[in-house]
């Protein structure tokens, strides 16, 4: 399994969606609920019969809407398509069935619309407009960037504009991210060893980081709190941090993994926390204080903590944290292809490996308090 | 005769031992006939001691006839008595005849002695009368002498008086002449005039109450004042050489001019002179560059030795001379001299420093050392006068030496880069077909040898600074700090560090952002070089350095050898890792492209091993050869006896469904991979881009791991048809056949290939594996 996403629109419950990959059996989308208080995992299964899921993403506005990229295989051809789906109402906000029952009532996704890609090639991923109302999505198909408008409550997808990457050889986008800054007018894409930035209004390239990595770039993420800052990872085992205003040199480079890094994710609220997943079967949580939006020693107020705790913690002498690896998680036995932060709890994350194991972890408590206080 | 006696004694038949003893005694007496006479006149002490008081010895001094007789009578038999009597009679006769002979021999002498005595008696009577005559004559002579002297006494007294008056008059004459003489000498020989005046002055002062003397004194004073004036004028004149200057001031001092004022005057004159010399030196330097940045100045006209030579002989010499004369003139009070001299010395140092700064390039170190040495020697005399300057001078030399060492460091670095450039060129040079280029070991040896040689040469140059015959080498700085800080730390350690750093730079910096990447062979070469440094060269260099520049016990802390070694090792490790990554990436890239561009669904049944796999094996073989040139074989883990049995066991039909075709019950999707997970729990985790060891096997294992992991990940991204799977199967078997011998642990290759096969089966729409025998057949054919 490779596809993992948090339920973006859900802000209360910790919920992840996992898509399966199987060539010979019906594929499924598993909705994983994690009950933080009782430490219980609940699971609901939705059938996704059209093919194996390579990428999954959820609408930021509607809990029930998601998009998948899936492989359609015929005897001689494999085609990756994308579609927007709606899950059954009762599962939208999570049900509390016991896991034992789940086998009996598998339900099917309701197809909202296909993103027609017959003219554009294989879909690599689908991105929702981060702050939007769930009407705009962008998909990457081979060397095309396609911007879709979802109309009639997502029942119809209209291609509003597109851009193609021209160049010699077979160019293919591997991944992309939609920047939450600049009024959501920028996206970044990765193809081969390059990272490119695009303006969604004109669909023109605005910057290009040539040879961002020594080998293929696998994933990107924007710093959610700091404009222009971008993280990328790739087959050279490195994670690099860029200021897109200066594309010649990375701001910082991490070299902790011993194989390709497939995924990099900024924490949504504390952008010094960086999560990376790699095919060396490890997930690494790093603390990049020096390039985060938080200045050293600055206190972030968090109302969730009681006053008593506040006082207790304030007595501690705080020293600025250094850039460091916080933890290396080695629970996986096979390559980790996806890591994601929970959209509801900023201290929680999930990682998914090839063998289908999903692991949910928390940021270490000591560090959490250190950041909060 | 004695023999006859003895013979007769023996012939008598009854000869006992006492008889024999007596015979012997008699024998000795007969052999020396003058013995008894001699003894009579004065026996020598030896003989006296020898003669024991034996009353029976007839020849002894203590002879007692009574005792002898008694003894003989009581002891001897009659026959013997008779014989003895006869013998004694014979002896007595012989003695008598001896005495007669002596008397006759000496008779004439007695006669002549008597005659002489008689004649002497007559002569002495004559002489007595003549002596009386002489005494009378002497008395007469003394009486007449007394008369003469009494008559002359009065005249002599008068003569002496006259001589005294004459001397006084002459002195007065001299005094009167003083002014005139002074006047005539003042112009030409001021020193003589001064001496003259000094002699006259005391007398004049003593008799100044007499008007005439006063006039003379005044006049001479006036002349002296005039002279002083003239001397002062001369003093101010520019062209005086230091000796004249000293003379001039000395004379003025004798004229009792105020010393204070004079010393000032002296110093200002000396200053002017020294300034002129400094200016002359400065003129040789190119104009000082106020901004310090402009174009490089033209090379100085004269070399540094010449410059220092001139500087020391002219400036330092003069300064010493002047300071010396100041001391003799104005005493030990140097309160004014010191600041004056130190100001000038500082300026001189500044000039010299500027000149030294012009010594760019490496030029001739021995020349520089000699120049500094000369400077130091000349300066020593000055420093006795001016202790404060010593530090400045030492610092100056230290700086110059340090500067030179830094230059050498830079030259070494340039040299090393040059060598590297050569090596790169040699590696990159297109090889004419059929002709092998220089092998890596040769290149490595050349590089290492030339760098080491250069380093040694530099050390030899630098050693000039501490050579025994160089005077300043004994300064504490050059003995201790220079050796340790400048040479050991600043040159040797810095160079090794730099070398490691540069080598690392090839691994860390490069390529990444488009810069021309170092060729992998160069990385390998440098890794080996760093490793060699770690193993032996560093310790060798440090030992060499410590030998040539023995460190002081109390000197500053030095970088220990092991720290450097560790650095070199880290660099070597980094380089080798990078080499593995670069080579691995190259192979991996090939594999990735081959997997990505192929249509795995529509492929036909495999007939052959794909060309790219052959290429991979070829490349890895080439890498094996390349690494083998420089690194040892390394340890291989024991190989399992039959690898064929395990090969592709995952395809065995009994296990495949259980593992790759799980029953997809929604309740337990995790179980599907339980088997593989359990299997993995027992196998070691494989770190793909992990550090390698310094041997061939480890390096190749690293490269193979990277390649195979790439293959695995790429296969997982594809969807395969039945023949696609079979092709992967064939390729995998082929790789396994040829790669296991490169890897340190066959199981690593095996494990990764198993995973590739498993993933391929998983990604296959119609997983029907090929018969193992067919796979083997195809591979063997390929």
Confidence band for B97, pLDDT divided at 50, 70 and 90: very high
Among chain B residues, the shortest Cα distance to A280 is held by: B687
| A300 inside domain | no
Please give the mean pLDDT across all residues of chain B: 71
Helix (H, G, I), strand (E, B) or coil at B295: coil
Please say if the pLDDT value at position B57 is more than 60.
yes
Please say if the pLDDT value at position B677 is more than 60.
no
B710-728 residue pLDDT tens: 888 888 888 888 888 888 8
Point out the residue among A100, A216, A280 whose CB comes nearest to the CB of B688: A280
Confidence band for A94, pLDDT divided at 50, 70 and 90: low
Subunit contact B585:A333, Cβ cutoff 8 A = no
Confidence band for B549, pLDDT divided at 50, 70 and 90: confident
Question: CA dist B638 to A92, B403, B741, B751, Å?
Answer: 58, 58, 11, 16
Please say if the pLDDT value at position B514 is more than 70.
no
Regarding whether A61 and A177 lie in a shared domain, the answer is no
Please say if the pLDDT value at position B658 is more than 60.
no
Q: Which residue has the higher pLDDT, A85 or B204?
A: A85
Confidence band for B23, pLDDT divided at 50, 70 and 90: very low
Confidence band for B292, pLDDT divided at 50, 70 and 90: very low
Regarding whether A173 and A120 lie in a shared domain, the answer is no
Orientation of helix B494-508 relative to helix B561-597, angle to 10°: 10
In degrees, rounded to 5, the angle at the alpha carbon of residue B51 between the alpha carbons of residues B47 and B53 is 150
In degrees, rounded to 5, the angle at the alpha carbon of residue B557 between the alpha carbons of residues B553 and B562 is 105
The structure tokens listed for B581 are 């990554």
Q: Which residue has the higher pLDDT, A167 or A139?
A: A139
User: What pLDDT is recorded for position A336?
Assistant: 87
User: What pLDDT is recorded for position B291?
Assistant: 39
A286-321 residue pLDDT tens: 888 777 776 654 444 444 444 444 444 444 444 555
Confidence band for B94, pLDDT divided at 50, 70 and 90: very high
Judging contacts by C-beta atoms under 8 Å, the chain A residues touching residue B511 are 214
Q: Which of A18-32, A121-135, B364-378 has the lowest mean pLDDT?
A: B364-378
- Tell me how far apart the alpha carbons of residues A80 and A46 are, in angstroms, rounded to a whole number: 20
User: What pLDDT is recorded for position B93?
Assistant: 93
Q: Which of residues 240-259 of A touch B (CB under 8 A)?
A: 248-249, 257-259
User: What pLDDT is recorded for position A293?
Assistant: 73
User: What pLDDT is recorded for position B427?
Assistant: 73
Subunit contact B676:A355, Cβ cutoff 8 A = yes
Averaged over B454-470, what is the pLDDT?
Answer: 74
User: What pLDDT is recorded for position B398?
Assistant: 75
Judging contacts by C-beta atoms under 8 Å, the chain A residues touching residue B592 are 216
Please say if the pLDDT value at position B274 is more than 90.
no
Judging contacts by C-beta atoms under 8 Å, the chain B residues touching residue A19 are none
User: What pLDDT is recorded for position B399?
Assistant: 76
B135-173 residue pLDDT tens: 888 888 888 888 888 888 778 888 888 898 898 888 888
User: What pLDDT is recorded for position A335?
Assistant: 85
State the CATH number of the domain containing residue A12: 2.130.10.10
- Tell me how far apart the alpha carbons of residues B448 and A211 are, in angstroms, rounded to a whole number: 35
Q: Which residue has the higher pLDDT, B600 or A54?
A: A54
Please say if the pLDDT value at position A159 is more than 90.
no
Regarding whether A231 and A332 lie in a shared domain, the answer is yes
Q: Which of residues 672-731 of B touch A (CB under 8 A)?
A: 672-673, 676-677, 680-681, 685, 687-690, 709, 713, 716, 719, 721
- Tell me how far apart the alpha carbons of residues A46 and A29 are, in angstroms, rounded to a whole number: 5
Please give the mean pLDDT across all residues of chain A: 79
Averaged over B452-471, what is the pLDDT?
Answer: 74
Regarding whether A135 and A194 lie in a shared domain, the answer is no
Whole-angstrom Cα Rg for chain B: 61
Averaged over B667-681, what is the pLDDT?
Answer: 45
Q: Which of A17-21, A247-251, B249-253, B730-734 has the lowest mean pLDDT?
A: B249-253
Q: Which residue has the higher pLDDT, A67 or B193?
A: A67
Subunit contact A260:B680, Cβ cutoff 8 A = no
**Does residue A356 belong to the interface with chain B, where contact is any CB pair within 8 Å?**
yes
Subunit contact A211:B512, Cβ cutoff 8 A = yes
Q: Which of A170, A260, A261, A331 to mutate to test the interface with B (most CBs of B within 10 A)?
A: A260
Judging contacts by C-beta atoms under 8 Å, the chain B residues touching residue A257 are 689
Regarding whether A80 and A18 lie in a shared domain, the answer is yes
Subunit contact A237:B689, Cβ cutoff 8 A = yes
**Using an 8 Å Cβ cutoff, are B61 and B39 in contact?**
yes
A237 φ, ψ to 5°? 70, 10
| A307 inside domain | no
ipTM of the complex as predicted: 0.80
* DSSP-derived secondary structure for B130-165: HHHHHHHHHHHHHHHHHHHHHHHHHHHHHHHHHHHH
Which of A122, A141, A164 is the last residue in one of the domains?
A164
Regarding whether A177 and A160 lie in a shared domain, the answer is no
Q: How far is CA B602 from the centre of its chain?
A: 81
Averaged over B205-225, what is the pLDDT?
Answer: 75
Among chain A residues, the shortest Cα distance to B686 is held by: A280
**Does residue A215 belong to the interface with chain B, where contact is any CB pair within 8 Å?**
yes
Confidence band for B707, pLDDT divided at 50, 70 and 90: confident
Total number of residues shown for chain B:
782
Residue that is written with structure tokens 């497939």 in the block: A262
Regarding whether A181 and A265 lie in a shared domain, the answer is yes
Please say if the pLDDT value at position B96 is more than 90.
yes
- Tell me how far apart the alpha carbons of residues A84 and A138 are, in angstroms, rounded to a whole number: 12
Q: Which residue has the higher pLDDT, A362 or B597?
A: A362
Point out the residue among A24, A78, A211 whose CB comes nearest to the CB of B514: A211
First to last CA, chain A: 38
Q: Which of A115, A123, A176 is nearest to A150 (CA)?
A: A115
| A98 inside domain | no
Confidence band for B664, pLDDT divided at 50, 70 and 90: very low
* DSSP-derived secondary structure for A251-292: SEEE---SS-EEEEEE-SS-TTEEEEEETTS-EEEEE-GGGS
User: What pLDDT is recorded for position B659?
Assistant: 36
Averaged over A68-86, what is the pLDDT?
Answer: 80
Give residue limits of the domains in chain B: 258-286+301-385, 407-428+438-582, 598-633+692-781
Regarding whether A226 and A132 lie in a shared domain, the answer is no
Q: Which of A58-62, A218-222, A353-357, B659-663 has the lowest mean pLDDT?
A: B659-663
**Does residue A100 belong to the interface with chain B, where contact is any CB pair within 8 Å?**
yes
Q: Which of A168-182, B357-371, B493-507, B522-536 has the lowest mean pLDDT?
A: B357-371
A131-155 residue pLDDT tens: 777 788 888 888 888 888 887 776 7
Q: Which of A46-50, A72-76, B700-704 has the lowest mean pLDDT?
A: A72-76
Q: Which range has highest mean pLDDT (B160-169, B177-186, B195-204, B428-437)?
A: B160-169
In degrees, rounded to 5, the angle at the alpha carbon of residue B504 between the alpha carbons of residues B502 and B509 is 95
Confidence band for A105, pLDDT divided at 50, 70 and 90: low
Subunit contact A24:B661, Cβ cutoff 8 A = yes
Q: How far is CA B263 from the centre of its chain?
A: 46
User: What pLDDT is recorded for position B95?
Assistant: 92
Regarding whether A172 and A160 lie in a shared domain, the answer is no
| A135 inside domain | yes
User: What pLDDT is recorded for position A114?
Assistant: 82
User: What pLDDT is recorded for position B335?
Assistant: 64
Regarding whether A239 and A130 lie in a shared domain, the answer is no
**Does residue B589 belong to the interface with chain A, where contact is any CB pair within 8 Å?**
yes
Regarding whether A278 and A180 lie in a shared domain, the answer is yes
Q: Which residue has the higher pLDDT, B330 or A32?
A: A32
In degrees, rounded to 5, the angle at the alpha carbon of residue A127 between the alpha carbons of residues A121 and A133 is 130
Å between B759 CA and nearest CA of chain A:
10
Subunit contact B513:A26, Cβ cutoff 8 A = no
User: What pLDDT is recorded for position B554?
Assistant: 53
User: What pLDDT is recorded for position A308?
Assistant: 47
Regarding whether A174 and A33 lie in a shared domain, the answer is no
User: What pLDDT is recorded for position B530?
Assistant: 79
- In chain A, the number of structural domains is 2
User: What pLDDT is recorded for position A295?
Assistant: 60
CB proximity list for B53: less than 8 A, separation 6 or greater: B60, B62
Judging contacts by C-beta atoms under 8 Å, the chain B residues touching residue A330 are 685
User: What pLDDT is recorded for position B90?
Assistant: 93
**Does residue A22 belong to the interface with chain B, where contact is any CB pair within 8 Å?**
yes
Averaged over B217-246, what is the pLDDT?
Answer: 72
| A24 inside domain | yes
Please say if the pLDDT value at position B357 is more than 60.
yes
Subunit contact B602:A20, Cβ cutoff 8 A = no
**Using an 8 Å Cβ cutoff, are A316 and A338 in contact?**
no
User: What pLDDT is recorded for position A235?
Assistant: 84
Confidence band for B334, pLDDT divided at 50, 70 and 90: low
- Tell me how far apart the alpha carbons of residues B252 and B426 are, in angstroms, rounded to a whole number: 81
User: What pLDDT is recorded for position B782?
Assistant: 64
Domain, as residue range, for A151:
1-91+105-164
């Amino acid at each position: 399994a490779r596809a993992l996403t948090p339920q973006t629109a859900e802000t209360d419950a910790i919920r992840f969606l996992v898509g399966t990959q199987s060539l010979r059996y019906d594929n499924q989308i598993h909705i994983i609920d994690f009950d933080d208080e009782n430490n219980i995992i609940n699971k609901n299964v939705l059938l996704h019969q059209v093919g194996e899921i390579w990428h999954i993403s959820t609408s930021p506005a509607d809990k029930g809407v998601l998009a998948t990229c899936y492989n359609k295989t015929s005897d001689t051809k494999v085609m990756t398509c994308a579609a927007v789906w709606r899950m059954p109402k009762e599962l939208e906000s999570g049900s509390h069935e016991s896991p034992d029952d789940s086998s009996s009532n598998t339900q099917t996704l309701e197809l909202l619309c296909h993103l027609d890609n017959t003219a554009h090639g294989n879909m690599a991923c689908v991105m929702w407009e981060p702050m939007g109302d769930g009407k705009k999505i962008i998909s990457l198909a081979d060397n095309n960037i396609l911007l879709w408008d979802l109309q009639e409550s997502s029942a119809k997808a209209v291609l509003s504009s597109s851009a193609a990457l021209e160049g010699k050889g077979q160019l293919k986008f591997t991944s992309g991210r939609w920047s939450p800054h600049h009024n959501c007018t920028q996206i970044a894409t990765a193809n081969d060893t390059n990272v490119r930035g695009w303006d969604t209004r004109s669909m023109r390239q605005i910057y290009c980081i040539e040879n961002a990595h020594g080998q293929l770039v696998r994933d990107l993420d924007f710093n959610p709190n700091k404009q222009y800052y971008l993280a990328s990872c790739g087959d050279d085992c490195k994670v690099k941090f860029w200021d897109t205003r200066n594309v010649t040199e990375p701001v910082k480079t991490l070299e902790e993994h011993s194989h390709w890094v497939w995924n990099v994710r900024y924490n949504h609220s504390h952008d010094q926390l960086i999560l990376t997943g790699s095919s060396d079967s490890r997930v690494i949580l790093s603390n990049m204080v020096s390039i985060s939006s938080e200045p050293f020693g600055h206190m972030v107020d968090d109302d969730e903590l009681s006053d008593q705790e506040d006082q207790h913690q304030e007595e501690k002498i705080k020293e600025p944290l250094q850039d460091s690896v916080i933890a290396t998680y080695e629970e996986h036995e096979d390559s980790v292809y996806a890591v994601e932060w929970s959209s509801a709890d900023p201290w929680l994350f999930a990682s998914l490996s090839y063998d289908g194991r999903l692991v949910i972890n928390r940021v270490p408590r000591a560090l959490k308090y250190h950041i909060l206080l | 005769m004695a023999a006859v006696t003895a013979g007769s004694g023996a012939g008598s038949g009854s000869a006992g031992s006492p008889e024999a003893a007596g015979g012997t005694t008699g024998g000795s007496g007969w052999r020396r006939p003058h013995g008894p006479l001699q003894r009579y006149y004065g026996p020598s002490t030896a003989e006296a001691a020898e003669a024991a008081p034996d009353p029976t010895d007839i020849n002894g001094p203590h002879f007692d006839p009574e005792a002898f007789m008694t003894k003989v009578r009581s002891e001897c038999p009659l026959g013997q008595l008779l014989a003895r009597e006869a013998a004694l009679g014979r002896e007595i006769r012989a003695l008598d005849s001896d005495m007669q002979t002596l008397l006759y021999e000496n008779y004439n002498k007695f006669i002549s002695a008597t005659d002489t005595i008689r004649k002497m008696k007559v002569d002495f009577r004559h002489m007595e009368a003549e002596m009386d005559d002489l005494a009378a004559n002497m008395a007469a002579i003394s009486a007449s002498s007394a008369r003469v002297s009494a008559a002359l006494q009065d005249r002599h007294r008068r003569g002496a008086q006259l001589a005294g008056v004459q001397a006084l008059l002459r002195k007065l004459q001299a005094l009167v002449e003083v002014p005139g003489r002074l006047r005539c000498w003042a112009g030409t020989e001021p020193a003589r005039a001064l001496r003259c005046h000094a002699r006259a002055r005391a007398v004049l002062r003593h008799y100044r109450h007499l008007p005439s003397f006063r006039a003379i004194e005044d006049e001479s004073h006036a002349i002296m004042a005039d002279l002083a004036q003239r001397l002062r004028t001369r003093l101010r004149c520019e062209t005086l050489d230091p000796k004249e200057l000293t003379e001039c001031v000395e004379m003025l001092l004798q004229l009792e001019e105020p010393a204070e004022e004079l010393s000032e005057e002296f110093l200002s004159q000396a200053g002017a002179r020294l300034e002129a010399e400094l200016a002359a030196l400065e003129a040789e330097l190119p104009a000082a560059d106020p901004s310090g940045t402009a174009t490089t100045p033209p090379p100085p006209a004269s070399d540094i030795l010449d410059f220092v030579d001139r500087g020391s002989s002219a400036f330092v010499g003069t300064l010493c001379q002047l300071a010396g004369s100041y001391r003799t003139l104005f005493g030990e009070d140097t309160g004014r001299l010191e600041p004056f001299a130190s100001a000038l010395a500082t300026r001189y140092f500044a000039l010299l420093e500027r000149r030294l700064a012009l010594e760019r390039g490496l030029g001739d170190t021995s020349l520089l050392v000699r120049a500094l040495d000369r400077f130091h020697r000349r300066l020593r005399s000055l420093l006795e006068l001016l202790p404060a300057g010593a530090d400045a001078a030492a610092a100056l030399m230290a700086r110059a030496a340090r500067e030179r060492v830094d230059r050498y460091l830079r030259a070494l670095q340039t040299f090393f880069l040059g060598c590297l450039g050569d090596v790169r060129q040699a590696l990159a040079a297109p090889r004419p077909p059929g002709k092998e280029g220089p092998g890596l070991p040769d290149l490595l040896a050349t590089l290492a040898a030339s760098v080491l040689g250069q380093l040694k040469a530099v050390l030899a140059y630098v050693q000039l600074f501490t050579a025994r015959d160089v005077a300043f080498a004994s300064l504490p700085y050059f003995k201790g700090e220079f050796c340790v800080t400048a040479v050991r730390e600043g040159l040797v350690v810095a160079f090794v560090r730099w070398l490691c750093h540069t080598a690392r730079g090839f691994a860390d910096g490069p390529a990444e952002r488009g810069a021309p990447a170092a060729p992998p062979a160069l990385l390998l070469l440098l890794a080996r070089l760093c490793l060699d440094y770690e193993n032996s060269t560093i310790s060798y260099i440090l030992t060499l350095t410590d030998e040539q520049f023995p460190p002081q016990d109390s000197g500053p802390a030095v970088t220990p050898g092991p720290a450097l070694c560790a650095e070199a090792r880290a660099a070597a490790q980094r380089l080798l890792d990078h080499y593995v990554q670069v080579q691995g990436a190259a192979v991996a890239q090939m594999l990735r492209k081959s997997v990505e561009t192929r249509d795995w669904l529509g492929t036909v049944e495999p007939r052959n091993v794909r060309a790219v796999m052959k290429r991979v094996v070829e490349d890895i073989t080439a890498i094996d050869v390349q690494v083998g040139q420089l690194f040892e074989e390394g340890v291989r883990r024991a190989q399992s006896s039959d690898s064929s049995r395990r090969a592709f066991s995952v395809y065995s039909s009994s296990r495949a469904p259980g593992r790759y075709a799980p029953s997809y019950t929604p309740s337990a999707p995790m179980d599907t991979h339980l088997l593989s997970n359990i299997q993995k729990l027992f196998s070691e985790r494989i770190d793909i881009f992990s550090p390698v060891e310094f041997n061939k096997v480890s390096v190749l294992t690293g490269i193979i791991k990277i390649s195979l992991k790439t293959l695995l990940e790429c296969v997982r991204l594809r969807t395969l048809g039945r023949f696609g799977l079979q092709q992967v199967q064939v390729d995998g078997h082929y790789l396994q056949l040829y790669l296991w011998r490169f890897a340190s642990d066959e199981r690593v290759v095996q494990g990764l290939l198993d995973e590739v096969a498993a993933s391929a089966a998983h990604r296959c729409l119609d997983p029907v594996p090929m018969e193992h025998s067919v796979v083997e057949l195809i591979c063997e054919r390929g």
